[in-house]
Amino acid sequence: MLALIIFIVLILLIDIYSFKGLRTIWNKPPNAGLALFIKIVYWLVPLALISSVAIMLFLWPSGPDPRIFNGHFYIIAFTMLFYLPKLVFIFFHLIEDIIFLTERAIKIVFRLFKREGIAAGKKSVRRSFLSRAGIVIALIPFLAVIYGVAIGRFDFQVINKKIEFTTLPASFNGFRIVHISDLHIGSFYGHKDRVRHAVKIINEQKPDMIVFTGDLVNNFTAEIDDFIDILAEMNAPYGMYSILGNHDYGDYYQWESEAEKEQNMVDMIAVQKQIGFRLLMNEWDSVVIKGERIAVIGVENWGEPPFPQYGDLEEASKGTGKFPFRILLTHDPSHWDAEVLVENGIDLSLAGHTHGMQFGIENRFIRWSPSKLQYPRWAGLFEENGQFLYVNRGLGYVAFPGRIGMPPEITVIELRAVH
Report percent pLDDT > 90 for the chain: 78
User: Above 70 in pLDDT, residue 119?
Assistant: no
Average pLDDT over residues 338-357: 93
User: Above 90 in pLDDT, residue 273?
Assistant: yes
Q: Are residues 87 and 127 in the same domain?
A: yes
What integer pLDDT is reported at residue 64 of this predicted model? 75
User: Above 70 in pLDDT, residue 252?
Assistant: yes
What integer pLDDT is reported at residue 72 of this predicted model? 87
Which residue type does 401 have? P
Domain that holds residue 144: 2-150
Q: Which of 115, 134, 150 lies at the terminal end of a domain, its last residue?
A: 150
Contacts of 396 (CB under 8 A, 6+ apart): 182, 183, 184, 185, 187, 188, 215, 408
Query: CB–CB of 214/331 below 8 Å?
Result: yes
Q: Which of 123, 150, 177 lies at the terminal end of a domain, its last residue?
A: 150
Q: Are residues 297 and 349 in the same domain?
A: yes
User: Above 80 in pLDDT, residue 127?
Assistant: no
Q: Are residues 350 and 289 in the same domain?
A: yes
**Tens-place pLDDT, residues 194-212:** 999 999 999 999 999 999 9
Q: Are residues 317 and 168 in the same domain?
A: yes
Q: Which of 93, 126, 150 lies at the terminal end of a domain, its last residue?
A: 150
Q: Are residues 306 and 330 in the same domain?
A: yes
pTM of the model: 0.91
**Tens-place pLDDT, residues 143-197:** 999 999 999 999 999 999 999 999 999 999 999 999 999 999 999 999 999 999 9
User: Above 60 in pLDDT, residue 116?
Assistant: no
Task: State the CATH number of the domain containing residue 393.
Answer: 3.60.21.10
- Whole-angstrom distance, CA of residue 359 vs CA of residue 404: 5
Report percent pLDDT > 70 for the chain: 95
What integer pLDDT is reported at residue 419 of this predicted model? 80
What integer pLDDT is reported at residue 109 of this predicted model? 83
Task: Tell me the pLDDT band of 65, cut-offs 50, 70 and 90.
Answer: confident
Q: Would you report the helix, strand and coil content of the chain in percent, each value rounded to 5?
A: 45, 15, 35
Contacts of 3 (CB under 8 A, 6+ apart): none
Q: Are residues 177 and 129 in the same domain?
A: no
Average pLDDT over residues 309-316: 95
What integer pLDDT is reported at residue 122 of this predicted model? 54
When divided into structural domains, the chain yields a total of: 2
Q: What is the DSSP letter of 399?
A: S
